[in-house]
């Protein structure tokens, strides 16, 4: 890393090394505010091992969410939805507490295309005798 920042010049930097043009920001980074979920039934902080404790039971999410808050909303009898920011991660039932992830929670939220109702019209011509 040292070599690329102090020894190798870059064409995009007018043949200077990155260390020559780097300037430390004057702003102090204070991190993000804690996530809140006011429209959910509860907010839980994910443990370092990637779990939430729900009614004394462990629900495994992922260690990538460690230290982050997630929202939990009841969506059916014994069925709960887990949300991170605006992304729905998956569902669990409060009996098994096993999370069933949504296929791609970070993908585009597109409604499925409904197939059009087809109607078959039959027209019959009947010749009437004169």
Q: What is the pLDDT of residues 88-108, one digit of tens each?
A: 999 999 999 999 999 887 777
Which pLDDT value is given to residue 5?
Answer: 84
Q: Does residue 97 lie in a domain region?
A: yes
19 is a domain residue: no
Whether residue 83 lies inside any domain: the answer is yes
For residue 39, the model assigns a pLDDT of 94
Q: For position 34, what pLDDT does the model report?
A: 86
Asked if residue 113 has pLDDT above 80, the reply is no
Is 117 part of a structural domain of the chain? no
Please count the structural domains in the chain.
1
* Residue tagged 């994910």 (tokens): 46
Q: Which residue range(s) make up the domain with 67?
A: 30-101
* 36 has pLDDT over 90: yes
Q: Is there a domain that residue 62 lies in? A: yes
User: pTM of the prediction?
Assistant: 0.62
At 50-95, the pLDDT tens digits run 999 999 999 999 999 999 999 999 999 999 999 999 999 999 999 9
Evaluate whether 52 touches 84 at the Cβ level (below 8 Å): no
Q: Flag whether 96 is in a domain.
A: yes
Asked whether residue 90 is assigned to any structural domain, the reply reads yes
Sign of CA dihedral 114, 111, 63, 98: negative
């Amino acid at each position: 890393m040292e070599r690329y920042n102090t020894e190798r010049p870059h064409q995009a930097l007018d043949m200077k090394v990155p260390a020559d043009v780097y300037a430390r920001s004057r702003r102090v980074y204070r991190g993000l505010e804690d996530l809140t979920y006011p429209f959910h039934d509860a907010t839980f902080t994910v443990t370092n091992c990637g779990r939430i404790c729900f009614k004394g039971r462990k629900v495994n999410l992922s260690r990538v969410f460690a230290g982050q808050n997630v929202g939990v909303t009841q969506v059916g009898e014994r069925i709960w939805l887990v949300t991170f920011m605006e992304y729905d991660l998956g569902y669990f039932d409060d009996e098994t507490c096993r999370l069933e992830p949504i296929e791609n929670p970070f993908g585009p939220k597109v409604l499925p295309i409904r197939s059009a109702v087809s109607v078959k019209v039959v027209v019959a011509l009947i010749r009437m005798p004169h």
